[in-house]
Amino acid sequence: MKILFLLVLLSIGYAIEAANPQKPNLKNGTFIGESRSHYTDEPYWGKVTLQIRNGQIADVKFQIRDSAKHEPFNEKYEVHFANIPEYVQQCRNDWEGVQNYPKEFLKKQDIDQLDAVSGATWSFNIFKSCVQEALKKAGK
């Protein structure tokens, strides 16, 4: 009887684990990932800072910096393309991505579940690559 009871408990435990797979347990701390993704001919570097608490991502910061102009890519960066409307729009799309990707990643806790903002694949690729670098350091 006790063996049957133990087998039932083990079966229930395995069923619960299969239905709710655990996220990988990450090391607690602050982890930084920097990358240019595959844009190696451009002077832009992304940087992600992940705060890990209790094995989960607790905070995400993301920035892109222009290493040639020594300035951040932000809402004002479009002034460099004032006479090219397509590039101005591209800057706006990518700036939206820079602001949204950390929030969405924090909610989802899985970089593979994150979708790119329409028209902002440049910032998405840099963000994803930076996150992957930081997660390597955090133990994933």
Angle 73-51-34 from CA coordinates, rounded to 5°: 40
Q: Which ranges of 23-120 would DSSP assign to H, the alpha helix?
A: 85-108
Residue 140: which pLDDT band, with cuts at 50, 70 and 90?
confident
pLDDT digits (tens, 9 = 90+) for 33-65: 999 999 999 999 999 999 999 999 999 999 999
Choose among 137, 139, 135: nearest CA to 109: 135
> Looking at residues 21-40, what average pLDDT do you find?
87
Choose among 132, 88, 94, 80: nearest CA to 111: 132
d(CA 79, CA 135): 34
Domains plus CATH for the chain?
25-138 (3.90.1010.20)
d(CA 131, CA 110): 10
